[in-house]
Amino acid sequence: MQYKAVKGFKDILPYQVGTWNRIESEAKRIFELFGFNEIRIPVIEKAELFARGIGQDTDIVSKEMYTLKDRKGNFLAMRPEATASVIRAYIEHKLYNVYQVQKLFTIGPMFRYERPQKGRRRQFHQINVEIIGDPGPRSDSELIAMIMYFFSSLGLNDLILNVNSLGCLKCRGPFRTELKGYLKRYFSHLCPDCQIRMETNPLRVFDCKVETCNQIIKDAPSMLDFLCNDCANHFDSVRLYLKQLGVNFVVNSHLMRGLDYYTRTTFEVQTKELGAQNAVAGGGRYDNLMKEFGGPDTPAIGFAIGVERVVELLEENAVQKEEGPDIFLAPLGKEAEDKAFIWLQELRKSGLKCEMEYRSLGLKTQMRHADRLKARKVLIVGDDELIKGKGIVRDMISKEQIEIPLNNIVDELIRVNSLNS
């Protein structure tokens, strides 16, 4: 029997990992520049954590969560998103006693049971960032500016930033009433899911992907017309700071995002290159979630980046970024092989990326292997070279060859490698 990966779950193969490492290392570099610290959260949490934070009536909780019961009957879920877990950890470990404002990020897999398609899998990966403890528009604009700087650093400059405000509980109530009245006029044309959403949470209709619902929602009331003075001033300040920071954006009054906990500022980074799955990142403010989870009344804002979608955008550059060993050792004969095996470990400890064959093979076969690995240089050592005390270094690009002394071979190879680095 031949086993295959579970539907919606995909292997990340060695030739693809370089792009993933590039994205993650660049994220860590930039986030640390902005004062963020990494936090690592469990893959499994109590299911009620996500039901309470994301919303019982959302598709994520009602249809997409991977849930299970442990041996004691506890109802658990594989995390469908990271924010609820980060807030749970913040409260559980009383991080608010460490410093008033916490700036955190986490990288890892999430799980949702939905129909696999291009840009959407059942196991997917996210980079999540949160600023906890500051209510002001400066933290909103700094977070948004940082995410756009991150994309720019990867060479992704043709992205569209959409921003909106969802208001607070005070101004959202009248908007929901107005929106519900509008949707009632088109009830029979709404999809079955949106007919339910209209009663439970009409704002969720904005997230529907059914075309008839999209057409109906185009003329729906705008949340921006219902903002209270505080929320309107907050959103005005966010836009002002973004302009001062040189961040281009589009105000999209129908941008709602998919999670119930968002308040005030919300944003989404979109591309035109991925078809229907056009969002590569998104987030917003969630000032009430901490109190909802039993913690102190603490404001927060965050975002999530879909790593698979960023990988797809960088796909063409991934091959160009692939790099082989600095040195490939090609020994000929038992004595040379034994010496090369020791040199190999010493070279690696010195910081050089090196490889050699484990088996005894001819020079032509070893050279073909070095070429496939894209090695920059090859050290050739056989019985004659050992007698002379000199090895041959072949440059795999220029095809030039030079002799180097075998005594103090590690320092010699470091020197030769540095000539073209």
CA dihedral sign of residues 240, 242, 248, 250: negative
| pLDDT, mean of residues 302-322 | 78
* pTM of this structure: 0.83
Which residue shows structure tokens 């704002």? 203
| pLDDT, mean of residues 389-409 | 90
Mind listing the pLDDT tens digit for each residue in 56-89? 656 667 678 888 898 999 999 999 999 999 999 9
Q: What is the pLDDT of residue 320?
A: 47
Residue 53: is its pLDDT beyond 60? yes
- Residue 355 is inside which H or E element, if any? strand 354-356
- Provide the token pair at 94: 């009383």
| pLDDT, mean of residues 399-404 | 91
- Residue 342 is inside which H or E element, if any? helix 334-349
% of the chain with per-residue pLDDT over 70: 94
What 8-state DSSP symbol labels residue 202?
Answer: G
> What dihedral angle (degrees, nearest 10) is formed by the CA atoms of 98, 100, 103, 106?
50
**In 10 A of CB 342, how many CB atoms?**
11
Residue 93: is its pLDDT beyond 90? yes
Name the band, by pLDDT with cuts 50, 70 and 90, for residue 322: low
Mind listing the pLDDT tens digit for each residue in 139-182? 999 999 999 999 999 999 889 999 999 998 888 889 888 888 88
Taking the C-alpha atoms of residue 238 and residue 241, their distance in angstroms, rounded to an integer, is 5
Name the band, by pLDDT with cuts 50, 70 and 90, for residue 90: very high
Residue 420: is its pLDDT beyond 80? no
Taking the C-alpha atoms of residue 340 and residue 337, their distance in angstroms, rounded to an integer, is 5
CA atoms within 13 A on the CB side of 376: 17
Q: Is 315 left (phi over 0), alpha (psi -120 to 50) or beta?
A: alpha
% of the chain with per-residue pLDDT over 90: 55
323 backbone dihedrals φ, ψ, rounded to 5°: -125, 140
Reduce the DSSP state of residue 204 to 3 states and report it: helix
| pLDDT, mean of residues 130-146 | 95
CA atoms within 13 A on the CB side of 305: 26
> Can you list the domains of the chain with their CATH numbers?
14-168+228-318 (3.30.930.10), 323-414 (3.40.50.800)
What 8-state DSSP symbol labels residue 124?
Answer: E
Name the band, by pLDDT with cuts 50, 70 and 90, for residue 236: very high
Residue 221: is its pLDDT beyond 50? yes
Residue 13: is its pLDDT beyond 60? yes
